[in-house]
Amino acid sequence: MHTEMHQRGVSLIEVLVAVLIFSIGLIGVAGLLVMATRSNHAAYLRTQVTFLANNLADRMRANPVGVWKGSYNGAYPVTSGAPNCDKGSACDPLAVARRDQVLWSRLLTSQLPDASATLQCTGVDRAGYDPSAELGLRPPYGGNCAMTVTWAERELGDASHRDAATQVFAWHFQP
């Protein structure tokens, strides 16, 4: 009888140790899930940056005169000054560029937290460069553009931005 009581006590200790080990394993799995969620969100934001950068480059390709005149250069977001361009009242290339800036800025701020960007296109003022002679050629712009987009990647569950890390996307391209 004494041995039987002893065996029951050992079985209880074995069960408690097994529950402890299982609990530690579950805490590890929970940590992995948090890291996976954070990494997935960071990948989502980086995908959005790529889409946004290509969106502005496509807008610029559709308006080479606006690019030649430097109308896309500057800091973003641009919050005001969008002209009313529609089929009833056409806009010149400078107004189209301004409209593109405002519309793209809205996308930028809606898709990325604490986002800002800069764009600088250079090369138009090179000696011997004639935009009107380039109009029929591809690519129509002879200069290069440098775009930098910054945004904050917040830590999971941190609504106050205490642990926000600034991320930077830099891209050199020719529209």
**106-136 pLDDT, tens per residue?**
999 999 999 999 999 987 655 455 656 655 5
CA pair distance 117, 52, nearest whole angstrom:
11
User: Which whole number is the average pLDDT over 147-165?
Assistant: 75
- pLDDT above 90 for 149: yes
Handedness of CA 7, 13, 18, 21 (dihedral sign): negative
Instruction: Render pLDDT for 48-96 as a digit per residue (tens, 0 to 9).
Output: 999 999 999 999 988 888 888 889 999 999 988 777 877 777 888 889 9
Domain ranges of the chain: 51-173
- pLDDT above 60 for 32: yes
Could you tell me the strand order of the sheet in which 116-122 lies? 74-76, 116-122, 144-153, 165-173
Instruction: Render pLDDT for 3-31 as a digit per residue (tens, 0 to 9).
Output: 555 566 668 888 888 899 989 988 888 88
